[in-house]
Structure 1
Amino acid sequence: MENTTSVPVAISGAIVNGSTAVAIILTTTITLGNVTTSVTSYNPAHHGLYGYYPHLQPLLIVILVIMTAWPLFGNGCLLYLVCAEKNMREPGNIFLCALALTDIALILVYAPTTVYSLVHGEILDESWCRIQAFFVHFLHVLSVYLQASLWICRYIHIALPFKYAAMMTKRRLAIAMTICSLIALVEPLGCVSVLSADIAKHPTIMLPLDIGGPEAVFYIGLTIVCVGVAISCIAAGLIYKVALDNEKRHQKLTGIAKDQLSRKLKAAKTLAIVTGIQLITWLPSIITTCLMKAKVIRTDTGLILGDISFIVRITSTFTDSIVYAKRKNIYRRAVGKIYGKTRKRHQRAVGPEHIPMRTLRWTENM
């Protein structure tokens, strides 16, 4: 004979608009003959920002929609300019393009499904959650090492300008990309198999699935990220040293040489700003995770902070394009080129006799 009893257990509470929002764990007791078993179910929709502040659902959806559209537009502009402008087709920019594609992939893996979960109040099926867990961790680490590779390219471009083209061959670039991908696979493959491995629970409706596995794997992943950041910092320091040496040795540098060095240093400074902003966006998430693991903050508070810090972390998918837009006008240049090409196609379709002379002159100058 089987008896089943479900007992809701409140594990935490928060005051929301004068009322108490309670996170629920449902404990089900199943009795089969002389054997009694308790099964505990965890609902992620009762935790985090959505669980404690459900009235924020429309705002969260709007934020995620904007955060999806912006990386697509910003990184799309960057990719278009690298392909369209000859002066942007230097070998090192392959890592810049790969970084833009990684940002696009990351936001598409995370945001649309999170919007779905917010609208329906439930997470997707387990198979998709496993795929999302794998790619979110993989793409985050990959972006760190692509940025480190870009720093190395910038250093070679500035310190060894005459050897740059010979060193940055297609084969070496392909090997570097492969190494970055293999390093990024260490944490996901060490913790989870997409098809069969044990995975920890979905923390909240807005956080990707936690990767299961030993506790040491978390620290291995953190170490891998720190190594990538350290490589970027070392390369940045070497570039700064080269810049100081050039100022001391070539104070009277003029003409094309001075202009080229100035442009290279400006590119390195832009990359430094991008790296700094990325570190700032990652910091809240790392701090929150460490505080939760050290049990300094309560689990319910940590999950709310986890939702907020992860949204901040995802902003790194479009902040780099904002920096390039500010320093290199990539938005205006890309939109202007697309508009100019569209006008020219329109002119060829309708014939020049139907187009005002002022428009013809403006298009010719594009």
Structure 2
Amino acid sequence: MKIRNLFASVFAASLLFMTACKDDNNEAIVSKGAYEGGILVSVEGGFNKNQAEVSYITSDLASMSENIFAANNNKQVLGDVLQTIGFKDDKAYLVVNNSNKVEVVNRYSFQKLTTFQVEQPRAIAFNGNNTYITTNDFFGKYALNVFNAATNASVKTISFDRYAEKVVSVGNYVVVQTDGSTYEMTPPYGEIPSGHTITTVNAGTNAIEKTITLTDDGIIRDMISANGYAYVLSSGKTDSYIYEIDAATGSFKSSKLTGVANADNLRFAGGNLYFMDGSRGVYTKATASTAAPTKMFTYPATTDLYPYAFDVIDGKIYIADVNFNSSSKVMVYSMTGSLLKSFNMGNGVNGFYKN
């Protein structure tokens, strides 16, 4: 009796072990490619220098790989001025401004899938079956280009009499930043606002619906999509402003960032907004709150470089200082301002993207 019970127990344990192994095998994680997880870093490069590239930082910050586009595509040069990177499903869209093209790669292997042409592309968004890419040559060619997301065939071009800079998808709408900055025509050629407009486009009809005029007199610096709204950051030499725009109605709420000068690089993470000021200060703010933002920390200046890229990803703050004449300095900070890691990368790091 005892021996039979022992055999039964051994058999049951063996069966449980085999079942567990089977379940483990069924649930085994299969890697999609060398760059799954971690952070993709867009490197703009100098104008007319064909220095555009993409770098990669592992999620544990242990290692960094440079120029992964060339490394996985027979050493092909990416092009001139990588403006931004957009994602749709397993594809990454590399918007190469001065090469007038978009390179589409598998976001995990970075092997090239296709290329399509866009004149002076600036920013990219996706809504429904369409891809939206802005054109802005700063001399009269301002447009939102609509492409079929499956074929990359042109669907429509929506022209503006104002700039076409950032573009984001918000519900059934595409929101375009139709103003930014220009420069005075006489010395000292100071930077001034080109205007204060944001334009909404119905993604179902691809027709302009509303032109929204913001109420401050600063320069529109950035725009993101979060929580079902478009958030716009406008900044001046003394104060800055954040707008929460309802794309369907065109209505907005504004929050004045008193004493925060030259704010830039608006981001959203963990339910809060984040941004920087012109003196390397890092701030956070609740989206719906009119309360003053909280200054998290100020990071030290880097020699002959200035802040250019910023993001908050998985509880870490990524910052790049550049000058377009040499390599960029990428710094990764904790949320309390402790430096976790730093890297030297290519000329003109301008963005960080969780992959």
Higher relative contact order (CA 8 A, sep 6+): 1
TM-score, structure 2 length as denominator? 0.23
Q: Please say which structure displays the higher CA radius of gyration.
A: 1
Q: Comparing both structures, which one devotes a greater share of its residues to helix?
A: 1
Question: Could you say which structure has the higher strand fraction?
Answer: 2
TM-score (norm 1): 0.22
